[in-house]
Amino acid sequence: MSTDAHADRMTEVSDKFGITPEDYMLPARHMINLLDPDGTLRPQDKQGTEPGHEYPLPSPARLMEAYSALVTGRRVNDQNSALVRQGRMAVYPSSHGQEACQVAAALCLEEGDWLFPTYRDTVAVLTKGVAPMEVMTSFRGEWHCGYDPKAYNCAPMATPLTTQLLHAVGVAHAAKLRGENTVVVAMCGDGATSEGDFHEALNFAAVFNLPVIFFVQNNKYAISVPFSQQSAAPSLAHKAVGYGMAGERVDGNDLMALMSVMTRAVRLAREGNGPLLVEAHTYRMQAHTNADDDKRYREDSEVAEWKAKDPVIRIQSYLDDAGLLTEQAAADISQKAEAVAKTLRDGMNQDADTDPLELFEHVYSSKTPQMAEQQALLADELAREEA
Amino acid sequence: MTTTTSRVNPNVSDATARAAAKAANENQPVTFGKALNTALADALTAEQSVVIFGEDVGTLGGVFRITDGLTARFGSERCFDTPLAESGIVGMAIGMAMNGMRPVIEMQFDAFAYPAFEQIASHVAKMRNRTQGRLPLPMVIRIPYAGGVGGVEHHCDSSEAYYAHTPGLKVFTPATVADAYLMLREAIDSEDPVVFFEPKKLYWSKEQVNLEELAQQYESGKAARTEGKARIARAGSDATLITYGPSVSTCMQAAKVAAEEGISLEVIDIRTIVPFDDESMAASVRKTGRAIVVAEAQGFASVASEIVARVQERCFHSLAAPVLRVTGFDIPFPAPTLEKYNLPSVERILDTVDQLQWEA
Ligand SMILES: Cc1ncc(C[n+]2csc(CCOP(=O)(O)OP(=O)(O)O)c2C)c(N)n1
Ligand SMILES: [Mg+2]
Q: Are residues A188 and A204 in the same domain?
A: yes
A109 touches chain B (CB under 8 A): no
Residue A387 belongs to what domain range? 356-387
Q: Are residues A176 and A217 in the same domain?
A: yes
- Judge if A288 and A380 occupy the same domain: no
Total domains in chain B come to: 2
Say if residue A291 is in the same domain as residue A378: no
Instruction: Give the mean model confidence (pLDDT) for residues B10-23.
Output: 55
SS3 at position A384: helix
Q: Residues B242-277: pLDDT tens digits? A: 999 999 999 999 999 999 999 999 999 999 999 999
Å between A184 CA and nearest CA of chain B: 11
CA distance B124 to B106: 15
The answer on pLDDT for B151 being more than 70 is yes
Nearest ligand 1 atom to alpha carbon A189: 15
* Rounded Cα–Cα distance for residues B79 and B76 (Å): 5
Q: Which residues of B touch A179 (CB under 8 A)?
A: 3
**What confidence tens digit (pLDDT) does each residue in B79-105 have?**
999 999 999 999 999 999 999 999 999
Residues B138 and B190 sit within 8 Å (Cβ to Cβ): yes
Report d(CA B257, CA A37) in Å as an integer.
85
Residue B60 lies in a domain: yes
CATH number of the structural domain spanning residue B291: 3.40.50.920
Same domain, B120 and B165: yes
pLDDT of amino acid B8: 39
Q: Indicate the burial class of A5 (C-beta count within 10 angstroms; 0-12, 13-18, 19 or more).
A: exposed
Phi-psi region of B301 (alpha: psi -120 to 50; beta: other; left: phi over 0): left
What pLDDT does A351 receive? Answer: 87
Specify whether A369 is located in the same domain as A283. Answer: no
**CATH number assigned to the domain comprising residue B189:** 3.40.50.970
- Of all residues in chain B, the percent with pLDDT exceeding 90 is 92
Separation of B214 CA from ligand 1 center, angstroms? 50
Ligand 1: nearest atom to the Cα of A163: 1
- Tell which residue, B11, B46, B18, has the closest CA to residue B220: B46
Q: Report chain B residues whose CB lies below 8 A from the CB of A1.
A: 1
* Angle, helix B346-354 to helix B247-260, in steps of 10 degrees: 60
B87 and B210, same domain (yes or no) = yes
- Assess whether B47 and B137 both reside in one domain: yes
Contact B93, A170 (CB under 8 A): yes
Nearest residue, CB atoms, A178 vs list B3, B127, B130: B3
Q: Sorting pLDDT into bands at 50, 70 and 90, what band is B55?
A: very high
Beta-carbon contacts of residue B154 (< 8 Å; ≥ 6 apart): B109, B111, B112
Angle between helices B211-219 and B32-46 (to 10 degrees): 40
pLDDT at B224: 95
Q: Which of A187, A190, A223, A225 to mutate to test the pocket of ligand 1 (most atoms within 8 A of CB)?
A: A223
Interface test with A, best of B129, B276, B307 (most A CBs within 10 A): B129
Which element (helix H / strand E) includes A378? helix A369-386
Res B7 pLDDT > 80: no
Preceding amide of A149 cis, omega within 30? no
pLDDT, residue B359, reads 86
Residue B342 located in a structural domain: yes
What residues are in contact with ligand 1 under a 6 Å CB criterion?
Answer: A 120, 159-161, 188-192, 219, 221-223, 284, 288
Output the pLDDT for position A363: 98
ipTM entry: 0.97
User: Residue type for A254, please?
Assistant: D
Asked whether residue B247 falls in the same domain as residue B303, the answer is yes
The residue whose CB lies within 8 Å of the most ligand 1 atoms, and thus the one to mutate among A161, A194, A294, A297, is: A161
What average pLDDT does the segment B214-241 reach?
A: 97
Amino acid at B212: E
In a domain, B258, yes or no: yes
Q: How many Å lie between the alpha carbon of A92 and the closest alpha carbon of chain B?
A: 18
pLDDT at site B19: 59
Residue A383 gets which letter from DSSP?
H
Mark whether A349 and A360 lie in a shared domain: no
One domain, residues A170 and A154? yes
Write down the pTM of the prediction.
0.95
- Say if residues B132 and A205 touch (Cβ distance below 8 Å): no
- Give me the DSSP letters along A164-229: HHHHHHHHHHHHHHTT----EEEEEETGGGGSHHHHHHHHHHHHTT--EEEEEEE-SEETTEEGGG
Q: Which of B77, B91, B131 sits opposite A167 (nearest CB)?
A: B91
Tell me if A163 and B51 make a contact (CB, 8 A cut-off): no
Q: Identify whether residues A305 and A367 lie together within a single domain.
A: no
**C-alpha neighbours within 13 Å on the C-beta side of residue A322:** 17
Cα-to-centroid distance, B228 and ligand 1 (Å)? 39
CATH of the domain at A39: 3.40.50.970
Q: Say if B35 falls within a structural domain.
A: yes
Q: How confident is the model at residue B1 (pLDDT cuts 50, 70, 90)?
A: very low
Q: Which residues of chain A have pLDDT under 50?
A: none
CA distance A205 to chain B (A): 10
Question: How high is the pLDDT of residue B2?
Answer: 38
Alpha-carbon span A98 to A106, nearest angstrom: 13
Inter-chain CB pairs, A–B, below 8 Å: 142
Are residue A270 and residue A123 in the same domain, yes or no? yes
Same domain, A374 and A308: no
Residues A137 and A227 in one domain: yes
Residue B15's pLDDT is: 55
- Tell me: do B152 and B55 sit in the same domain: yes
Determine the distance separating the centroid of ligand 1 and the alpha carbon of A196, expressed in angstroms. Answer: 13
Q: Residue A127 to residues A100, A150, A334, A336: CA-CA distances in angstroms? A: 11, 16, 15, 13
pLDDT for residue B3 is more than 50: no
